Structures are given as C-alpha cells and as structure tokens.
Structure 1
Amino acid sequence: MFLPSLEQWIIQKRREFHRYPELSFNECMTQKRIMDSLKEFGLESSSIAGTGVVAEITGNGPGPCIAIRADTDALPIQEEESDHNGEYISCHKGVMHACGHDGHTAIVLGVARMLFEKRHEFSGKVRLIFQPAEEQYPGGACQVIEHGGLEGVDAIIGLHIFGDVDVGNVRFCPGPFMASSNDFSVRIIGKGGHVSTPGYCVNPIEMAADVISRARLESARKVDPSRHVFGFGAVTGGTRSNIIPDEVQIFGSFRTFNEMDTVTIENALENILGSIMNKYSDKDLAGVPSYELDVLHGYPVLVNNPDFTAAASRLLKQLFVNVDDNASPIFGSEDFAYYLRQVPGMFLFLGTRNPEKDIIENNHSSSFDLDEAVLMQGVQILCSIALDFLKKPEEYIY
C-alpha cells in the first residue's frame, strides 16, 4: 500500500480523529481507526483497557523497553466553526477534540510508523499505548496498568499539546510538574423555617457563606498560595426567597503539588466546618447543625523522574531551539501521573499557539485548534528520546 509522506499522513490522521471525536470510555471507532492505521504499515496491535490500543515494535536484538503514550478521548463541547476547521470540524454534535488528544494520537501513530521503519537500527522494544479516558476520572491509565500495559516496561514518555504555549516551544521540569486534583462536597444541615422567624431556624445558607468566606483564606494561611489553588464551583439549596431551607450543598476543588499540602488543606476544611457548627449550635435543637464532608482525591501529582528528565533535556536542547527544562509546574492534572508512579519517565508540553495563523485559543475552548506544524515536531521529540534511551539507557535510569 502506498502511503503519503509521514507529515502528510499524520495531518490526515489528526483531521480524521478530529472529525469523529468520542467521549471517555466510548472510543470504539477511535480504537478501530487506530488499529487500522497501524495495520497500514504492517504493525499489529491489540485492545487494552476496553477502548484502548497497545502495540509493540521489536528491534534487532534484546534491550530495554520504553513506552510512549497517547490519550484518545474528546470532550463534551460543541465546536465552533472557524477559518481553519472547515475540512475537519466535528461531525458529532456536542463532542469535540478540544484538548489536543487528536493531535497526540496522530503524533504517536507517526512515531509508530517511523520507528517501525527503523526497527532494524535499534535494540530493545518500543511499546505504544493509545489510552482511553484521560478526561474523565478515574481515567484510563489505571485500567491500562491493571491490564498489564506496563509489564516489562523500563521507562515511559508522553507529551501534551498546549494552546497557551507558543508554537514549537517545549516545556518541562524535573520533579512535580502537574498538580493533584481533589474535589469536595459539603452538605450542611440546619433547621428550616420562615425568614420572619429566624430565632426558630438554624440557617444553612449563612453557614455555607461562612465556609466559603473562611475556607480559601485559611487554606492560603496554611499552605503557600504558590503551592495550591482552592475554590468553590457550585452552591445548591433553597426554593424561595422567604423560606430558610433545611440544608445546603457546596462544591469545590483544590489542587496541590504534594500529598502533605493535600492533607493540610483537607484538615483545615474539617476544622473550619467544626468551628462553624459550634458557632451556630443551638442547645435546644439536638443534632443541629451538622455537616457531611466528602473529598474525592482524583489524579495524583505528576512527578517527572529527575534522572530521566536531565538526560532527555540534554538531548532535546541539541535538537530544538526553544526548550525550557525548568518550566513552572501547572495546576492542571493528568492521569499520566499513574504511569510515572510505576516506572521512570517524563511528561512534556509542546506549544501550538500561533497568532500569525490566528491559533490563539486555550485547551478546552470551543474554538481550540492546532497549528499542525507541531505534529511532526512531536514525532521527532518522542522518537529522539526513545531511540536515545534504547541506545544508552544507563544515562536515563540509574
């Protein structure tokens, strides 16, 4: 079968994935397209984690194994038409590749094709993981791991395309690079009644207001603001302006770069709630007020292995101009963190922002798009690290 040039091919693939996006854990046709794309140049693959794909390229002799991961799911966003996307705008109403996962998938397909052609030039193995459901907790990475996706793997690499990073710029750092995500809900139970007789009521709305006003200040007092973010996203309760409800629910989230800060903020929230309950307690009303706090610990902190990152940095600075190996960590979270808990490796960002082409929207925007020039650069980055690792793994993992 005649195949177009690698760059043309990965652009075609990216546009195909963009045109037919699928939500987390529902990437059935995406899975088939990936497997068919690999088969085009002779690489067999198999399913993993339900709607994921795994394939392996074996070199010319024994050696270590490095894994390369792409995420494949889209978001529940209605795509806006633009001057760029007329040929590939989403055909699925309310679903869009607004986070670059179509680009990640195309890049790793390009890596697969390039390394398959070079398989007689290196020793060891390259495992390609096309992972479902990065966007929806609990994420697909844990399922990949549970199904043996990292068995025999010595290291792993991945990248993410970002709309707020200038096109072609590469960013990463050793150690914590992306934050943990922690969502919480608080159910505050008081005693309802009419607003004209507040003495007979314990108003949960007033208590919720106290929680909201105090919690962020207390979290900033306990944990340096540069190391965390904390905020509320929803408040529900009540039906009419003159009726005090029996209960209110508030929902929020906080993110940190280490587990100690996570525990500190969670404990601070518990202490604030206990203090507020005491403040509003009524000796004539047994059991009122009270609260229920539920904290969902999502993806953990993503920690790049320092030795692996240092070796990759030396290589990338030789190959590319704009490489920042001391980038500031961000408060976004990623389930790639689970892989890095199992094996050494790194995660990096690749910029796609290009005002000259009017590509300026950030990830998760309904107008997000890629400068497709970064696709080939992504292939070159991942291939270069993988081949260098297979040639001299002792420089990456001590």
Structure 2
Amino acid sequence: MENSTVKEKTLYTNWENELEENYQETVSVRRYLHQHPEASFEETETAAFIVEQLKSYGITDVQENVGNGYGIVAKIGGTHSGPTIAFRADFDALRIQEENTVDYKSRNPGVMHACGHDSHTATLLSVAKVLANHKEDLHGSIVLLHQNAEEVLPGGAKSMVEAGAMEGVDYVFGQHVQSSVPAGKVAYVNGHAMAAADFFEIHIQGKGGHGAYPQDTIDSVIIVTKIVEALQTLVSRAINPLHPAVVTVSTIQAGGEANNIIADTAIIRGTVRTYQEEARDTIQREMEVMANSVASMYHGTCELVYTRGYDAVYNHPKETNRFVEVMKEKFGEEEVIEREPTMGGEDFGYFLKVTPGTFFNVGGGNPELEATYPHHHPRFNIDETAMIKAGKAFLAIAEDYLTIK
C-alpha cells in the first residue's frame, strides 16, 4: 500500500510538471483562439484547429460534427480497464466588439471570446496532451467533450448527448473560469449550481384609436401594465417558497407613433429562472392563465410564446464531495471555496442529467492585470495562470478515478 501511494504521488507530480512545462504553449493556444473567435454555430475553423491539435498529440479516436454543429468527441483509452470519465470544454465566442488593447485581441470584427471559452479549450487541450503521453498509467478511459455553441439556444450540449457523446461515460466534469473569483481559487457548489433559463413573450391585441376617445378603444398599454403587475405574484403565490425562482420582465413594447394614439398591440418580453422542474412547469402554466385572464378582463386577447432554454445545472452530491476532497488534498483548504448557486444559465446540465459529476469554477480574476471585468463585457480578460490550476484540477480528477489506490 505504501509503495502504491508513493507511485501515485509520483504519477501526479509527473503529470503536473509536464503541464507546467507546456504552459507557454497553452498560453499560445489560448491567444490564438482569442485572436480568431467564431460565434455559436459558426465555429468551423475553431473545430478544425482543435481536431488538428488532438491528432498532433497522437489521439486518433476523434469524432467531428457531433450533434447540431461542430461538436468534437475524442477518447484517450487507458492501457488498463476501468471507468470512463469525461471532461468538457466549450469553444464558441460572443457577438461583442472587443475593447481590450492586448496584442492578441480579436481579429474578427464584432466577435470576441468574452466568456473564457478560449481558455477552457486551451486548458483541456493541455490536459489531453499530458494524458495522451501517459495512457499506460490509466486504469480506464477519458472522453474529451469539445462543445460548440454554449452561448446561443438551443446550445450544443443537448444535441451532443442525443448523438451519443455520453455513451459509456461513468462520470462527467466541466469547469468555467470566473473573473469574479481570485485567480487560482477553485470554487464549487453542491447540488443546484445554475438555473434553468427560459424566455417568454406575451403578445397583446387590443383596439387602437384616438387618445381623445378611449371609450372606442381597447387599450393594449393598460393590459400590459396589469399583466406585468400580475406576473409579480407568480413566484410569491404560485411557487413553493423553498424553491428559488425568478420572473423578470425586461422589455415592454407598445405604441410610439404619437402622443394622441392609443396602441392596438403591445409585447412583453422577459426571462424565467428556476431550479426545480415543478416550479418551471407551474410558472409556464400559470403565466398563460394569468395573461389570458387579464387580457380578457379588459376585452383584449393575448398569446404567450414560452421558450424553454437550458435545463438547470445540478451537481451530484457524492461526486461533488469527492471532488472537493481531492481539490483540498492537492491545493490546500484555503484554495478551495464554496460559492453560492446562481440564477445564470449554462447547458452543461444536459451532461449531468445522464451521468453523475460536477461543474466547478476556477478563478481568473486579477486586479493587477485588469482581469476583473464581468463575463460578456468588451474588456473581459483573465489571469492566464488560471489555466494551470484548471488543468491541474482535471489531472487530479483523472488520477483519483483512473489510477490504482
């Protein structure tokens, strides 16, 4: 047992050292991707670059165009039998004009890696390179999920799952760099980590007319105000108070032609965020009943267009607890922090619906490098040393699940 433990520590140390030796290459990969961003469902060159890198590491089991876009599934088969774990990195960019002045800023006008997906990809490639060199040490296999189109519905994750990307996978892990977390810290959530993200539009039909003769009209603006007011009771009166939920009206569109015209139509737009499917179903159902009832009360009509976005991200407790123990063992308790769940959305939840695992964050914030801007900001950037910590986290997971204890 003692010899096994010594070998285990040496094994991880070798992997870790190799990862650190490749750091400048990882930075170069990240900066190349940052310079050449591609928006969701348009990531042809990015996907080709990833495949080229994987094959250069000697990884031959590579599937392209998996799912509804340019998803990639690659496999590193260990020499020995054992479980199969999957690591995921998304690689799409956002339609944002970059305002950073770095020499590796985006060369694609109006498109930018403003959420860190370039670093996710570079990190996973660096991990793949190390593990591909040590297949003889692996008691099991690793599946690399390079996912397209995380930023735009319907996303790439669900279609990759439907295409069979998770077949034979026993555990799945993903990470997201976080500019609000100090560089190098590993952050986790046990249980619900991110919300299901849905969107709605309510189209109201009234009867327009002259502002001086309201008795001859059906005022769509009045109907809008009453529906918006009624929607505020959805969470407080229709949802279990122990189940977090958000209903936000973000846009109201009505009238605008002149001061003396009563608008015949109006539109309400907004978003719904929930963790539990029961709350999600209830809000959609009750929103339709409520909107139609209010519109009818004022002699108008309405139509609800409700779009279901990504499912919630639920981190499995057993795997999350195991992950936290490993991270504390490798990096020290002070480097591992528990964060609060958020109501933001992310399609990694589709992988977790079919296979146990966890989704964690690695801090990329550093005021000295001006790496403090929020995600999706035109000046978003990260402390690139975060990629070392993220890579080491993946290697620690691989060691924990795929080596003999």
TM-score normalised by the chain length of structure 2 = 0.90
Measure, in 2, the Cα distance between the counterparts of 1:26 and 1:167.
30
2:71 paired with 1:60: no
Letter of the structure 2 residue corresponding to residue 203 of structure 1? D
- What percentage of residue pairs aligned between the two structures are identical? 35
Aligned to 1:368: 380
Aligned to 1:309: 320
Aligned with 2:161 (options 129, 138, 145) = 145
Measure, in 2, the Cα distance between the counterparts of 1:173 and 1:148.
27
CA RMSD of aligned residues (A): 1.9
Letter of the structure 2 residue corresponding to residue 295 of structure 1? Y
Q: Is the 8 A contact 1:313 1:325 kept in 2?
A: no
Aligned with 1:72 (options 86, 91, 94) = 91
Aligned to 1:299: 310
Measure, in 2, the Cα distance between the counterparts of 1:226 and 1:339.
23
Aligned to 1:329: 341
Shift in Å, 1:226: 7.9
Shift in Å, 1:236: 2.1
Q: Is the 8 A contact 1:21 1:96 kept in 2?
A: yes
Compared with structure 1, are the counterparts of its residues 325 and 257 closer, same or farther at alpha carbon in structure 2 (3 Å cutoff)? farther
Aligned with 2:263 (options 242, 245, 256) = 245
Aligned with 2:235 (options 219, 222, 227) = 219
Measure, in 2, the Cα distance between the counterparts of 1:327 and 1:392.
31
Measure, in 1, the Cα distance between the counterparts of 2:320 and 2:237.
33
Q: Secondary structure at the match of 1:98?
A: coil
Judge which range, 145-154 or 96-105, deviates more: 145-154
Shift in Å, 1:327: 2.4
Deviations 1:95-154 (A, max 9, x none): 000000000000100110111122111211101111100111111012211222111111
Measure, in 1, the Cα distance between the counterparts of 2:329 and 2:70.
37
Structure 1 portions without partners, runs of 5+: 282-288, 394-398
Deviations 1:145-189 (A, max 9, x none): 122211111111000011112211211122111100010110111
Q: Secondary structure at the match of 2:232?
A: helix
Judge which range, 205-214 or 105-114, deviates more: 205-214
Shift in Å, 1:5: 3.2
Measure, in 1, the Cα distance between the counterparts of 2:335 and 2:215.
64
Structure 2 portions without partners, runs of 5+: 1-18
Aligned to 1:286: none
Aligned to 1:192: 208
Q: Is the 8 A contact 1:68 1:126 kept in 2?
A: yes
Aligned residues: 381
Aligned to 1:284: none
Shift in Å, 1:234: 1.8
Measure, in 2, the Cα distance between the counterparts of 1:141 and 1:381.
22
Shift in Å, 1:221: 4.0
Judge which range, 33-42 or 190-199, deviates more: 33-42
Task: Summarize the alignment of residues 74-93 of structure 1 with structure 2, pairs less than 5 Å apart.
Answer: 74-82=93-101, 85=102, 87-93=103-109
Aligned with 2:221 (options 192, 201, 205) = 205
Letter of the structure 1 residue corresponding to residue 304 of structure 2? L
Shift in Å, 1:12: 0.5
Compared with structure 1, are the counterparts of its residues 356 and 221 closer, same or farther at alpha carbon in structure 2 (3 Å cutoff)? farther
Letter of the structure 2 residue corresponding to residue 144 of structure 1? M
Letter of the structure 1 residue corresponding to residue 376 of structure 2? H
Aligned with 1:272 (options 276, 285, 290) = 290
Judge which range, 123-132 or 160-169, deviates more: 160-169
Measure, in 2, the Cα distance between the counterparts of 1:280 and 1:273.
11
Shift in Å, 1:356: 2.2
Deviations 1:244-292 (A, max 9, x none): 22211111101011112222323442343244234313xxxxxxx1111
Aligned to 1:228: 245
Measure, in 2, the Cα distance between the counterparts of 1:69 and 1:139.
14
Aligned with 2:276 (options 258, 261, 271) = 258
2:296 paired with 1:290: no
Measure, in 1, the Cα distance between the counterparts of 2:188 and 2:323.
10
Aligned to 2:15: none
Letter of the structure 2 residue corresponding to residue 72 of structure 1? F
Letter of the structure 2 residue corresponding to residue 169 of structure 1? K
Judge which range, 294-303 or 165-174, deviates more: 165-174
Letter of the structure 1 residue corresponding to residue 403 of structure 2? K
TM-score normalised by the chain length of structure 1 = 0.91
Compared with structure 1, are the counterparts of its residues 218 and 318 closer, same or farther at alpha carbon in structure 2 (3 Å cutoff)? same
Compared with structure 1, are the counterparts of its residues 265 and 324 closer, same or farther at alpha carbon in structure 2 (3 Å cutoff)? farther
Letter of the structure 1 residue corresponding to residue 261 of structure 2? I
Measure, in 2, the Cα distance between the counterparts of 1:80 and 1:226.
39
Judge which range, 365-374 or 214-223, deviates more: 214-223
Measure, in 2, the Cα distance between the counterparts of 1:392 and 1:279.
69
Letter of the structure 2 residue corresponding to residue 293 of structure 1? L
Q: Is the 8 A contact 1:158 1:346 kept in 2?
A: yes
Measure, in 1, the Cα distance between the counterparts of 2:119 and 2:63.
21
Task: Summarize the alignment of residues 42-53 of structure 1 with structure 2, pairs less than 5 Å apart.
Answer: 42-44=58-60, 45-47=62-64, 48-49=66-67, 50-53=69-72
2:114 paired with 1:102: no
Judge which range, 104-113 or 311-320, deviates more: 311-320
Aligned to 2:3: none
Measure, in 1, the Cα distance between the counterparts of 2:205 and 2:35.
47
